[in-house]
Amino acid sequence: MLKKKERLTKKEFDRFFSSGRRFHSPLFTLIYNKEEAFHGAVVVGKKVFKRAVDRNRLRRRLYNILYRLSREVGLNGVYIILTKPTAGKASFDELKAELQKLIPNF
């Protein structure tokens, strides 16, 4: 899980959401902004899962993958992950592989 200082506040989220560069895949949309430090956010909507329990489980999985990638690769910048309905049916390994392909080497 990301540390609190590595997460985005609502104000920061709104600013980066509108100004970021977008990358698309079948499972996610990644919004990237160049910054000095690493920050991350994950959004799982009701179209992916109706139950909050399921949305939170997917959100925790994606935060875990993002945390590991940030430590292994040394990511800098702001990464906002928007899930698509197809992400709800993907396994952990599929989510990880797709996110690794989607995150560009900045």
Reported as type and span, the H/E element at residue 82 is strand 77-83
> 19-23 — which CB contacts under 8 Å span 24+ positions?
20/78, 20/80, 23/102, 23/104
> Encoding tokens for residue 50?
């109706």
Each residue's pLDDT tens digit, 29-49: 999 999 998 999 999 999 999
pLDDT of residue 105: 57
| Average pLDDT for 99-105 | 81
CA angle 8, 102, 87 (to 5 degrees): 80
Tally of structural domains, the chain: 1
- CATH code, domain with 72: 3.30.230.10
- pTM given for the model: 0.90
pLDDT of residue 57: 95
Domain enclosing residue 25, as ranges = 4-102
